[in-house]
Amino acid sequence: MPSFTTLYPALLFPAIPLMMISFGNRYTSLASLIRKIHDTIITNRPTSNVVQHHLDQIKVLTTRLTLVRSVQTLSGISFLMNLISIFFSYIKIYGLALNFFGLGILIFSIAIMLFIYEIQLSTKALSKHLEDLKDFS
């Protein structure tokens, strides 16, 4: 398998950390939003209607948080598989290098699919907020 070189996993090498940074930023945004809702409910003691609205948001945020955690975990595993692939390619064990590279791509593909699903949930939540604003005006 001499046609498989270190170049292939090296091409994927910078993409995974960049995606992990993106996922980390989404996590930070979710954490900030959850803390804001927490403070609103605990300190302001809003009406039951507002609390119910926040509880509905919390269900979606919990799902999104789980998805972001899964995406970050899978991306980290994919990055490790990529590093192992580079190592095996370096020591010229191309069969294992190719297997780890393929596994890394498969795991990263699953992470991207989960990320797309999380984006859809995020967009749906924002659309709900826009509907609320339209009703208010």
Q: Write the DSSP string, 14-73.
A: THHHHHHHHHHHHHHHHHHHHHHHHHHHHHH---HHHHHHHHHHHHHHHHHHHHHHHHHH
Residue 63 lies in a domain: yes
Reported as a pLDDT band with limits 50, 70 and 90, residue 52 is confident
Residue 15 lies in a domain: yes
pLDDT of residue 15 exceeding 60, the answer is yes
Q: Which is more confidently placed, 101 or 31?
A: 101
Domain holding 56, by residue range, is: 7-136
Residue 54 lies in a domain: yes
Tokens at 122, concatenated? 């995020």
The average confidence (pLDDT) of the chain is: 81
pLDDT of residue 7 exceeding 90, the answer is no
Is the model's pTM score more than 0.95?
A: no
Residue 126 lies in a domain: yes
Residue 2 lies in a domain: no
pLDDT by residue (tens digit) across 71-96? 999 999 999 999 999 899 889 898 99
A 10 A CB-CB count for 43 gives 8
Residue 1 lies in a domain: no
Indicate the number of domains in the chain.
1
